[in-house]
Homo-oligomer: A and B are copies of this chain.
Amino acid sequence: MDATKSETQFQKETLRIETFSDGVFCIAVTLLSLEIGVEVKGNATNTGLFHALAEKWSICLAYVISFVNVLLAWIGHHSLFKQLHKTDNFIMITNGILLMLVALVPFPTKTLGLFLQTGALKTAVIFYTAYFVLISLAFRLLWHAALRRKDSLTRGITDVQIKQITRNENLGLICNTIILAVAFINPWTALALSFAMWIYWIGFS
């Protein structure tokens, strides 16, 4: 039955899934801000509000970290889908799993922001970094699904390009796993490593 579909139809299908995925990334990234608010107990004074705002640095830091992570994931998702010509059920499912994880990023973000200044710092950072290991895994799985059938990929893609994406996905997974391992020893070093990874990512890819 698939053989009767024209090339244009396949591209429309792929575009539609990509548009839907873009929507999820876009909403997830904007929803991150929802939890951030400030309260002052008793009578509100200028200095009281100032201190209440200053205490929110940990929540704002968690927001920035997650915003960058989701934005980089979106760029990664986009460069992966650019190589896709056709989708099948397996690609749809792995993409669905990835979106499910992306849409839930506000949960580890909130957890990180709330507990960064508390005694539960280590658990919060482990939970957060483990969550992004899961996202890297979902990316790797999606790429695996795309590679399964030759005709899923865009015509004209070279083996070099395929290898480069595979290398990138593997690298992301390895880096995130190392960061998770470091989080068990020193949570702040783990967060600093995330930051270093971004610099590398932005500068070299």
Contacts and interface: CB of A to CB of B under 8 A. Distances in A.
Interface of A: 16, 19-20, 22-38, 40, 43-50, 53, 60, 63-64, 67-68, 71, 74-75, 78, 89, 92-93, 96, 99-100, 103-107, 110-111, 114-115, 118-124, 127, 202-203
Contacts of A20: 22, 25-26, 74
Given A23-B26, A30-B28, A118-B44, A202 B89 contact: yes
Nearest to A64: B100
A123 B93 contact: no
Interface residues of A: mostly helix, strand, loop or mixed? Answer: helix
Contacts of A71: 96, 99
A110 B49 contact: no
A36 B47 CA distance: 25
A107 B52 CA distance: 13
Contacts of A63: 100, 104
18 contacts: A23-B23, A24-B30, A26-B27, A27-B30, A29-B99, A33-B107, A36-B104, A36-B106, A49-B120, A60-B104, A63-B100, A63-B104, A67-B100, A67-B103, A68-B96, A71-B99, A89-B203, A93-B202
